[in-house]
Amino acid sequence: MRDFDENNITQSVIERFANTPDPRLKTILNSLVTHLHDFIRDVDLTFDEWQTAIKFLTRTGQQCTDTRQEFILLSDTLGVSMLVDAVNHRQRNGATQTTVLGPFFVHEAPALPLGANIAVNAEGEPLYANGVIRSTNGKPLANATVDVWQCNKDGFYDVQLSPQLNLRASFKTDQQGRFYFWSILPTSYPIPYDGPVGDLLTATNRHPYRPAHLHFMISAPEHETLVTHVFVKGDQYLDSDAVFGVKNSLIEEFKQHAPGTAPDGKQMPHSWRSFTYDFSLKAEHENLDHHP
């Protein structure tokens, strides 16, 4: 076929994918072309705008390094990351809600004993974190792996500053499914905005901030791994998270305490914070999610 125009080119491109061996790939490409072409027709995209988009995507790729993934940042700020998370975690039915992994998880977090302090020489208000990991049937999960990580008081993660890991750790729950550790109060912080994604935020009059939170990745045998956050109640950015990751069920009060004895018997000479949050993991055999 020849003489392509705005009315016949979409179907012609789709027909070129007719012999795609992988049926799932064929479905994705057909839908992608359909929506992309509809978008171009809908906005009457100009040559200048098309070139601007090409340059933007080129700069996005050039910004990527081993420690920074600008395309994931773009996905986050456009709500794509949370949408993918949502369609893959429908109908939680008692399991703790999920949210984005974020760009600062590392696999080499130090394994520490329960009660350890993950803030090594990090300034900030002391924080005692604790809770219980259970299956959705209420059974405590002993020996579950609890990975935690967070930013420092200035809003930076360890990997942004140096190769030395800090403010992150991997714990194992006790026989009652409990976890507990010390850290510092996290703060709200801006996502990296010195690249093309930051330019997009500026052009659309959006701020780059995320509300204060701790990251959790929790796994146990015969259960689906949970990736989520616990957000600090009252943070000013809860309703405008730059990556759309906040859910009401993940917001917790970080209580302030006067100097005195902490739950683990530690004597606190200054004020400190604490929060308790219990997590529920979905068993692998549970058919909680469905797809239309």
32-36, 80-84, 161-165, range with the lowest pLDDT: 161-165
Given a cut of 50, whether residue 161 has pLDDT beyond it is: yes
Residue 257, exposed/middle/buried by CB under 10 A (0-12, 13-18, 19+)? middle
- pLDDT score for 287: 54
Residue whose entry in the numeric block shows the structure tokens 């616990």: 230
The burial of 57, by beta-carbon neighbours within 10 Å (0-12 exposed, 13-18 middle, 19 or more buried), is given as middle
Q: Are strands 126-135 and 279-281 parallel, antiparallel or unpaired?
A: parallel
What is the pTM (predicted TM-score) of this model? 0.92
Residue 280: which pLDDT band, with cuts at 50, 70 and 90? Answer: very high
Tens of pLDDT, residue by residue over 209-229, are 999 999 999 999 999 999 999
Domains of the chain: 1-45 (no CATH), 82-281 (2.60.130.10)
Write the pLDDT tens digit of every residue in 239-271: 999 999 999 999 999 999 999 999 999 999 999
Mean pLDDT, residues 26-34: 98
Taken in order 285, 278, 88, 193, is the CA torsion positive or negative? Answer: negative
Pairwise CA distance, residues 98 & 21, whole Å:
34
Q: How far apart are CA 36 and CA 195, in angstroms?
A: 25
CA–CA gap between residue 237 and residue 254 (Å, rounded): 16
Q: What is the pLDDT of residue 292?
A: 39
Percent of the chain with pLDDT over 90: 88
CB atoms near residue 101 (< 10 Å): 17
**pLDDT for the residue numbered 291:** 42
What is the residue-averaged pLDDT of the chain? 95
pLDDT reported for residue 66: 80
DSSP 8-class letter at 2: -
Mean pLDDT of 128-142: 97
Q: Write down the pLDDT at residue 234.
A: 98
Cross-strand partners of 274:
128, 255
pLDDT at 93: 86
| 3 state DSSP class of 38 | helix
DSSP letter at 283 equals B
Is the Cβ–Cβ distance between 223 and 271 less than 8 Å? Answer: no
- Residue range 54-58: average pLDDT? 98
Rounded-to-integer distance, Cα 127 and Cα 214, Å: 11
| pLDDT over threshold 60, residue 288 | no
